[in-house]
Amino acid sequence: MQDNKPGVAVIGGGLAGLSAATTLNEAGTAVTLFDCEPAPGGRLGQDTRADLGAQYFTVRHPAFRQACRDWEARGWIVEWSPQLYQQDLEHGLRSSADDIQRLVAVPGMASLAGYLQQGLEIRQADISQLQRTAQGEWLLRDADGNEYGPFRALILATPAEQASALLCVAPSLQQDVARVRMRPCWSVLLEFAQPLPTLVDACFVRDGPLDWLARNNSKPQRSGNESWVLQSTASWAEQHVQLPAAAVVAELALAMERVTGQRLPEPLDSQAHYWPQARPAEQLKWGALAAPRLSLYVCGDWCLGGRIENAWLSGRQAARALLDS
Ligand SMILES: Cc1cc2nc3c(=O)[nH]c(=O)nc-3n(C[C@H](O)[C@H](O)[C@H](O)COP(=O)(O)OP(=O)(O)OC[C@H]3O[C@@H](n4cnc5c(N)ncnc54)[C@H](O)[C@@H]3O)c2cc1C
């Protein structure tokens, strides 16, 4: 049963915002989710053809385990068991098999956002200003001057830099958030006509510009050509922020050749994507931030550490704090 009070606005439709919105929705609270992109998902990615953002997720917390069981039962996520390798200067390329359960959404990581947004009211708007009315409610303004609201409470679920820009209304929260540093990543997708003749499905790289590479089509329910996702280290992305996409593709493909020890065939297609705020530099233990007197809550992976599970936990914590207030 929805109550008759003004609803709650959640700004940011990545996993943290979706987790907050679904938690509120399940509790019968009317919620509107705002995202500046055409589709929510954030760093889960926008494209279900290849995972250029988050690659997979692992589970530690019992509450997230429970959510994953539910998603698994609905057919939204499945286990991925890649032939896992690691490469470093000292040992070269070697198997790195482990018994960690790795989960992926199907048919692409971005699909998880599509499933979670079912039943939610979603608006596409780039929120640029928050205003608190004399009645203690919230009005939101987007970059085109459109106004939304009033809302009785607000959950900010954007990366730290965007949250900080919006938090002039709450200077002490803003001070904390402004200290958070997030680091970038370049992701490259290479598509080939034939499967590459390597046993490697995925590799943690500890040498050179690459941090990770994975055969995207080794994940369950992926269709299409043989495709590989290469992700740079944060330092390399920081040093090469201005590099044209074609040069990024060339450099990371060369690094992949060094890792696998094989020449790559000419790709059918390639693309490069720059994530300016891929992951937080530090692992904090904030959970979520709150200014209950303002009915204002802030969440995101950066409150706990750059993992999908942490984004989900942080969003849920913000929503629960609001519901308990
Ligand atoms: C390349 C890469 C690889 C990764 N690999 C993994 C992995 O393998 N495993 C793992 O667990 N994690 C991984 N991560 C981290 C994981 O993706 C993130 O921790 C998680 O997705 C963050 O979710 P979030 O909701 O906190 O933020 P986001 O996903 O960034 O969501 C924030 C949302 O806010 C929206 N937004 C921002 N500003 C505004 C505004 N002013 N108005 C409206 N909307 C706004 C954005 O459009 C976005 O949708 C990876 C991340 C990257 C970038």
Range of the domain at 156: 8-55+111-180+282-324
**pLDDT mean over 238-249:** 98
Residue 2: C-alpha distances to residues 7, 25, 27, 246, 303 (Å): 9, 9, 9, 51, 30
Specify whether 97 is located in the same domain as 220: yes
Are 222 and 107 a contacting pair, CB within 8 Å?
yes
- Cα(263) to ligand 1 centroid in Å equals 33
Count of domains for the chain: 2
How many CA atoms are closer than 13 Å to the CA of 124, on its beta-carbon side? 6
Question: Model-level pTM greater than 0.75?
Answer: yes
The CATH number linked to 194 is: 3.90.660.10
pLDDT at 224 over 90: no
Specify whether 225 is located in the same domain as 244: yes
Are 153 and 135 a contacting pair, CB within 8 Å?
no
Nearest ligand 1 atom, CA 55:
8
Specify whether 143 is located in the same domain as 198: no
- Cα(277) to ligand 1 centroid in Å equals 8
155-212 pLDDT per residue, tens: 999 999 999 999 999 999 999 999 999 999 999 999 999 999 999 999 999 999 999 9
In a domain, 32, yes or no: yes
- Residue 40, classed as helix, strand or coil, is coil
Calpha distance 296→275 (Å, rounded): 27
Q: Determine the pLDDT at residue 5.
A: 72
Specify whether 25 is located in the same domain as 140: yes
Are 102 and 80 a contacting pair, CB within 8 Å?
yes
Nearest ligand 1 atom, CA 277:
53
Confidence of residue 46 (pLDDT cuts 50, 70, 90): confident
Numbers of helices and strands, H then E, in the chain: 8, 18
Provide the sign of the torsion angle of the four alpha carbons 113, 115, 121, 123, taken in this order. Answer: positive
- Cα(70) to ligand 1 centroid in Å equals 22
The overall average pLDDT reported for the chain is: 95
Confidence of residue 2 (pLDDT cuts 50, 70, 90): very low
Calpha distance 190→196 (Å, rounded): 11
Mutate-to-test residue for ligand 1 from 10, 51, 158, highest number of ligand atoms within 8 A of CB:
158
In a domain, 270, yes or no: yes
In a domain, 2, yes or no: no
Cβ count near 156 (within 10 Å): 29
Ligand 1 site: residues with CB under 6 angstroms? 11-17, 34-37, 40, 42-44, 53-57, 126-127, 157-159, 162, 185, 187, 231, 275, 278-279, 300-301, 306-308, 311
In this structure, the residue with its CA closest to atom 50 of ligand 1 is: 54
Which are the contacts of 130, defined by CB distance < 8 A and separation ≥ 6? 138, 139, 140, 141, 154, 166, 167, 168, 169
Calpha distance 62→5 (Å, rounded): 33
97-148 pLDDT per residue, tens: 899 999 999 999 999 999 999 999 999 999 999 999 999 999 999 999 999 9
Q: Determine the pLDDT at residue 48.
A: 67
In a domain, 250, yes or no: yes
Single out the residue of 274, 272, 325, 277 nearest to residue 297, CA to CA. Answer: 325
Q: Which long-range contacts (CB under 8 A, 24 or more apart) does 58-62 make?
A: 58/100, 58/101, 58/102, 58/103, 58/307, 58/309, 59/101, 59/103, 59/309, 60/309, 61/309, 61/313
- Residue 228, classed as helix, strand or coil, is strand
Mutate-to-test residue for ligand 1 from 43, 58, 141, 144, highest number of ligand atoms within 8 A of CB:
43
